[in-house]
Amino acid sequence: MYEILTDIIGNQIVAYVIAAALPLFVFILPFALVAVLAERKVSAFMQDRLGPMRTGPYGLLQTVADILKLIQKEDIVASDTDKKLFNLAPILVFAGSYAAFAAIPFTSAYIGSSADVGIFFIIAISSLVVAGILMAGWASNNKYSLLGSMRSVAQIISYEIPAALVILTMVMLTGTLSLSEMTEMQTQYFWNWNIFGGAETGIVKILLIPFMLVGFIIFYISSLAEVNRTPFDIPEAESELVAGYHTEYSGMKFAMFFLAEYANMFAVSAIVVALFFGGYHSPFGYLGNAIGIDWLIPVEQLFWFTVKGTFFVIVQMWLRWTLPRLRVDQLMNVCWKYLIPYAFVNLIIVGILTLL
């Protein structure tokens, strides 16, 4: 992408800036707009309500109005906060979740960075979010914020272990760290997806399916915890902690946390899709191939990637409005006593199966 832009514009720096900002404006902002509305509508329908109905037809412009409101809000910095850290934290959190998009293959024609260490980079860079959250809680000089951020950090670090173990399993199976290469291996039809044992054939493929399913469930649960979604939303726990680490933030800084949360939701769903559900590949072959138009294929791929990613975001919302919040001890229980042992066993079994 970067090379193409350099060719078009002729200036490397401009091309670089555009390539870096592209996913933000083309994808994340519209996605956040739609996702916030979807979240409110889904929650409303699940509770037999209507949700926002006043702004625009069926309340479709609600998030636009909300964003406009947030932009106009006064940017309050309480007097006893640690100003530098306080102002840096939302940027860091957003940067961390945005950087993850660099290694996500949206289509075969667009990937921010084609670095070979894709998934590894994502795990590493999303740790910035942890630092940002801790910073926000500490700098706010507010006990609720601090409690929230401590919980958040404990939770994210704990759940990174089962997530990393599952990713390790997948890396072992596919033999690559790059998400686009992993996606390419799951090409053509849906029975080549990793959740159905990958592109292999024979008895091993059948044997792999249950273990892939276990891996998927573990990874999905830990990704929920990593993005602080219910049932793992104890860092924000409205009923206990006001709003957790972003209690003291207002206006655009709050909006950045919000945007980061939704960007993160899509990022983890995208990783799930790339690891288990064939990435950007269509489940039934391509229309572009059938009628012989080459440029149609990347467009279709983008469509399928968005559809699959959005599906998992919707499942996240579905879970959020189904399950109550866990207690801190239950949270740790689930992670250390259940997810990690299962992930380990899974890792070993898949390892043996790949040797067969």
Per CB under 8 A, residues contacting another protein are: 42, 44-50, 53, 217, 318-319, 321-323, 334, 338, 342
- Shortest distance (Å) from residue 34 CB to another protein: 18
**Tokens in use for 151?**
């919980």
Closest distance between another protein and the C-beta of residue 331, in Å? 13
**Least CB distance from residue 266 to another protein, whole Å?**
21
Burial of residue 245 (number of CB atoms within 10 Å: 0-12, 13-18, 19+): buried
Nearer to another protein, 294 or 329 (CB): 329
CA–CA dist 330, 321 (Å, integer) = 19
Nearer to another protein, 132 or 231 (CB): 231
CB 46 → another protein: shortest distance, Å? 5
* Residue 163 vs 317, nearer CB to another protein: 317
How far is residue 199's CA from residue 189's CA, in Å, rounded to a whole number? Answer: 9
189 or 342, CB closer to another protein? 342
User: What are the tokens at 269?
Assistant: 């769903």
Residue 328 CB, nearest approach to another protein (Å): 17
Nearer to another protein (CB atom), residue 49 or residue 69: 49
If the CB atoms of residues 25 and 318 are measured against another protein, the closer one turns out to be 318
Q: Under DSSP, is residue 105 helix (H, G, I), strand (E, B) or coil?
A: strand
- Residue 194's closest CA among 278, 104, 105, 285? 278
Question: Could you tell me where the DSSP H helices lie in the chain?
Answer: 2-9, 12-22, 29-46, 62-72, 83-99, 118-125, 127-139, 143-174, 179-185, 203-226, 238-241, 251-276, 287-291, 296-320, 328-332, 340-355
Nearest distance, CB of residue 318 and another protein, angstroms: 6
Number of residues that this document lists for the chain: 356
